[in-house]
Chains A and B, each alone.
Chain A
């Protein structure tokens, strides 16, 4: 048999490697997941994913309804209804686009729509800025969306597959957003292993809406007026689904490792050089890159600094995290977001970390918050070193502000 024929026949079974961006990696995941309905609307930086999807469809490499909507609100409403009718869906946005869709984002969890969205994190207007901030995705943190941050293209692809597996699990049926830092991840290329279709099929069952399917064979009424009679019970069901989410996430990562042979260790947060660390920094997304470089530099000078990168923000692995953080003399949380008027004027993640530590058993290390890298400003190695200094000061019990802006032009 000719070699070409063998390769053709084996195509579905072979893994490939490709040099692609974070956005492209997610588009490839959509292709592998055989997504049925995809809606697009332009806003930088997330829209690159839809440009790739468009090419896949035009080249006959992907079969889906690819709909260009007239605004983000419609973009999310279209896939919401498609999902209710049994379609696997994908959508996404950035910055003010995500906020424009807010009403549609709000209603999705209670409808138990397992929509997967990519957020190409971007600063909110005004003033206009293309760069990354995390306040867009964080705006839905209380509403029943599962939120995960990734920091490289491989992780983007893998997490998108895991996202479908988790969200479409009947025990969950909640929407899920994958946050990719604008530019730093959406637009930077890396070598990515693209798994074979065969493995993906083994990992990811078809979406089955079951008794919630909107179809003439199952003539249900979806989302009737609930009011004080039932709304509280419905909220409680959402709560219960979110409570089940960590278990389902763990199962999915374990299966992912078994089938694809790639492991992420603890799914909820990545620990970097923490085994012997005195202090740690924490953060989400691609700032991990300069933090890791800075840590390697500092370690040359004998400073034992570690890093904890949060992947899953919702559900938030509070117990596990607080147990892990007890090992350190102090914790510094880097927020690429803001929460004006919040306790200690900190960022969102800093507040969550303090919250996680408070009821936890044992020692509670002091937490210093940093606001850094807003509007896409680079988080530099000297920035990180400065933050580590402050965390050491906290460990020594020195008085200092609980929230510090780093890399700010004074």
Chain B
């Protein structure tokens, strides 16, 4: 069969079989200044480990730039370059295109090199969504775009983004005397949108670092499969979510177990729910009430019981009414949305 796609070879990155098989070498080390309990920093560390030394990383503005790369104390062992807030898609494309053409013309030694561009939810789901979308339509370029989602513009002092959950208290949605719920938008379904909207993109996945091994293997698959790929990671953020740093890991688990954060991968168009999410969907385990998750975090401390019920009803909908539960919000019937008065 004739093919119009010219993909260069990628690295062979088999899944790590067990935690003990993960290499000890670090490619994201000391020197960063993230908060205690910062899950996004953990994503960086594990991402670098999963990709290995023959990797170029490009990072858009945000906590993972500002806190990680103070001049003269970079934490990156890998080659790393800052990219503008909305440019992770373009950064990945540009670097990948350069490697491809330089190797083809013999101007650079032939070798598969991983290209990863990461962005926050602000940089990815808001400002950079157009560029990411464009890159996912370019089948010829090997690159991974990783969106670390701490559910706010964290670096600029926790402002709401298109990825902030409904009702959360941020510095742009502080509850006041008259209005309790200042943020009335539902979180964007970024991974689902990327998977559904880009039919030739070979791999889209959601991950959470509370399930580190699975997340790393997902990254390895995304890098090895060829073409542009996308991973969306949900990262508890003690500062933005307002909780004690020691429960970061537990909050990630709660996000999955409440069904708020479904884990899945879409590989060559085939959807596979993974981890605890798979068990939830198969009704092997019950979803935990969202209350258990929401009330552990200061950003939801102003919620009334009605607010919590509404949140719960939206998550129930996601599992019971969506045509592809947890992934694609199409329905068969029209349903009225009735949020509590704010």
Contacts and interface: CB of A to CB of B under 8 A. Distances in A.
Contacts of A218: 79
Contacts of B82: 222-224
Most central of B70, B79, B86 by chain A CB within 10 Å: B79
Nearest to A39: B94
A36 B98 contact: yes
A402 interface: no
B53 A216 contact: yes
Contact of B90 (A77, A87, A220): A77
A59 B79 CA distance: 36
Contacts of B53: 216
A37 B101 contact: yes
Nearest to B100: A65
- Interface footprint category on A: 35 or more
B97 interface: yes
A81 B79 contact: no
Most central of B56, B87, B131, B138 by chain A CB within 10 Å: B87
B108 interface: yes
A206 B102 CA distance: 12
A81 B58 contact: yes
B237 to A, nearest CB: 19
Given A73-B87, A216-B56, A222 B80 contact: yes
Given A63-B104, A63-B105, A84 B81 contact: yes
Interface in B70-125: 70-72, 74, 76-84, 86-87, 89-91, 93-95, 97-102, 104-105, 107-108, 113
B100 to A, nearest CB: 6
A82 B98 contact: yes
A128 interface: no
A298 B130 CA distance: 55
B134 A69 contact: yes
Interface stretch (A16-24, A146-154, A226-234): A226-234
B154 to A, nearest CB: 15
Contacts of B134: 69-70, 74
B291 interface: no
A37 B55 CA distance: 20
Contacts of A78: 90-91, 93-94, 97
Contacts of A215: 56, 79, 108, 113
B293 interface: no
Interface in B123-158: 130-131, 133-134, 138
Interface in A195-235: 206, 214-216, 218-227, 229-230
Contacts of B105: 34, 36, 63
A8 B105 CA distance: 22
B69 interface: yes
Contacts of A226: 71
B66 interface: yes
B90 A37 contact: no
Given A73-B86, A77-B91, A82-B97, A225 B71 contact: yes
A18 B69 CA distance: 51
Contacts of A82: 94-95, 97-98
B81 A223 contact: yes
Most central of A206, A218, A226 by chain B CB within 10 Å: A226
A319 B304 CA distance: 72
Given A37-B101, A104-B87, 17 more contacts: A34-B105, A37-B97, A70-B130, A73-B87, A74-B90, A81-B94, A82-B95, A83-B94, A85-B98, A87-B98, A214-B56, A220-B80, A221-B74, A221-B81, A222-B81, A224-B82, A225-B69
Interface of A: 34, 36-37, 63-65, 67, 69-71, 73-74, 77-87, 103-104, 107, 206, 214-216, 218-227, 229-230
Interface of B: 53-56, 58, 65-66, 69-72, 74, 76-84, 86-87, 89-91, 93-95, 97-102, 104-105, 107-108, 113, 130-131, 133-134, 138
12 contacts: A36-B98, A37-B97, A65-B101, A77-B90, A79-B94, A214-B81, A214-B95, A215-B79, A221-B69, A223-B82, A225-B69, A229-B71
